[in-house]
Amino acid sequence: MKANPIELHTTTNGNTKPLINSKHFILPIITLALLITIHLYIGNFSELRFISQGQSALNSTDDHKCNVFQGTWVFDDERETYYTNETKCVIDDRQNCMKYGRPDTDFMKWRWQPNECDLPEFDAVEFLEIVRGKTLGFIGDSVGRNQMQSLVCMLASEAYPIAMYPNDTRLGQWIFPTYNFTLIAIWSPLLVKTRDPSPDNFTRNSIMNLYLDEADDVWTSQLQNLDIVIFSSGQWFFRPFVYYEKGEIIGCRFCNQENITDVSVYYAYQMAYKTTFTTLLNLHNYTGLAYLRTFSPQHFENGEYNNGGNCVRTRPFTSQEMRLDGYKLQMYLTQVNEFKAAKKEGENKGLKLRLLDTSDAMILRPDGHPNHYGHPASDNKSFPDCVHWCMPGPVDTWNEFLLEMLKMEGDGFIDKTPQRNITRLNLR
């Protein structure tokens, strides 16, 4: 019942064959630390282009015929970060690369250049005006929280954020009183319901029960309070599970029980999104704005997280050097296919579903992770982190994308202001 790291390593990509075409890239392994605290991933070029063109999210006005998610990273020596480690916001220590002495700084100076248009710099006032009086929820894992914290810091230059639970980084809730804007991170790393049969013995290899057809009520119970939601998930799906549908076991992953069939990670990932979208559409008749932020790729090289693997590069790849492929592409396509199906259905029902299609850009950023700079140098027990993103860093670009997409919604994009009843969330 304990999948050891080697087993995890060799099978992380489900049943597909070679993962990453390239030379020394190693299959992603999740450390316990990473699994408990963090996450990510993404996909291939021709297919990406095809999919992206299939989305209508980005061409709702004539000015925006271009797909902002297709482009390259351009070095800009003049570029200033939107915040620093001195800004009055919270940078989680594990992503506070400058605090822990990361020596190179070029990774903060690349800006995303879409192929056919420009991605404007982030304008905090413009963002805050758009979201005035609204509540935005990030629903997912620690990579989703990484984006939320980046957004709080990007807005902190213009408005003073108040942390509702300052002493607990897991309870991410921020208010910008001047704009009556609330940001919440809702911890639901698998989006669907889980039960840990032995919570006190939780390890990266313990088996969790995952109910693929039941949405996690940690987020469904809050939906009525949220005008905008951003869903994301990824790395947690690679751990051991027993899968359930209609309350019955339908299979498992790394459970080592002979009478239970192995089910692929892609199936579980697909079902989790199907359930999420179905819940929005049919159970809650959700009419807010819902984003899927696509798979965020990790970049371990030279080994696994626990045997010397790391991410030491100091500059981005070009799209000739790297692209989404292998399991990252599979995960990406799996979620995007469910998104497309739901988007079609949602159009008739008033659900505004949008794709925050960051995967393509982020596969090019092996230089954007904390690596060893997510903890003090004296702490030689912590593993390198090639999953989360340094702050400041390329994760800030996700919020540049978000603002562009919000602008395209035009005025009055939210029909109905939901009834507000934010209670203390049950997060772990």
Ligand X SMILES: *[C@@H]1O[C@H](CO)[C@@H](O)[C@H](O)[C@H]1NC(C)=O
Residues lying near ligand X in the complex (CB under 6 A) are found at: 56, 59-60, 85, 98-99, 133, 166-167, 180, 198, 200-201, 249, 257, 259-260, 284-285, 378, 380, 417, 420-421, 423
Q: Which residue is nearest to ligand X (CB)?
A: 56
Collapsed DSSP state (helix, strand, coil) of residue 187: strand
At its nearest, how many Å lie between ligand X and the CB of residue 260? 5
Q: Are 56 and 161 in contact (CB under 8 A)?
A: no
The active-site residue out of 296, 367, 388, 396 is 388
Q: Are 293 and 397 in contact (CB under 8 A)?
A: no
At its nearest, how many Å lie between ligand X and the CB of residue 98? 4
The active-site residue out of 141, 213, 357, 385 is 385
Backbone φ and ψ for 174, nearest 5 degrees, come out as: -125, 145
Give the number of other Cβ atoms within 10 Å of residue 235's Cβ.
25
Q: Is the peptide bond before 103 cis (omega within 30 degrees of 0)?
A: no
For 243, the enclosing helix (H) or strand (E) is strand 241-245
Q: Are 208 and 196 in contact (CB under 8 A)?
A: yes
| Residue number with CB closer to ligand X (21 or 56) | 56
| Residue number with CB closer to ligand X (46 or 320) | 46
At its nearest, how many Å lie between ligand X and the CB of residue 336? 16
Q: Is 168 a catalytic site residue?
A: no
Whether the CA torsion 262, 267, 268, 271 is positive or negative: it is negative
**Tokens encoding 29:** 């392994």
At its nearest, how many Å lie between ligand X and the CB of residue 196? 11
| Residue number with CB closer to ligand X (104 or 121) | 104
| Residue number with CB closer to ligand X (50 or 321) | 50
For 348, the enclosing helix (H) or strand (E) is helix 326-349
| Residue number with CB closer to ligand X (100 or 317) | 100
At its nearest, how many Å lie between ligand X and the CB of residue 422? 8
| Residue number with CB closer to ligand X (21 or 224) | 224
Report which residue type is found at 63.
D
**Tokens encoding 61:** 């006005």
Nearest to 115 by CA among 20, 54, 45, 56: 45
Report which residue type is found at 297.
P
Q: Are 288 and 414 in contact (CB under 8 A)?
A: yes
Q: Is 411 a catalytic site residue?
A: no
Q: Is 142 a catalytic site residue?
A: yes
At its nearest, how many Å lie between ligand X and the CB of residue 32? 16
The active-site residue out of 142, 188, 206, 232 is 142
**Tokens encoding 214:** 């039941």
- Measure the CA–CA gap between 122 and 125, rounded to whole angstroms: 9
- Residues taking part in catalysis: 142, 385, 388
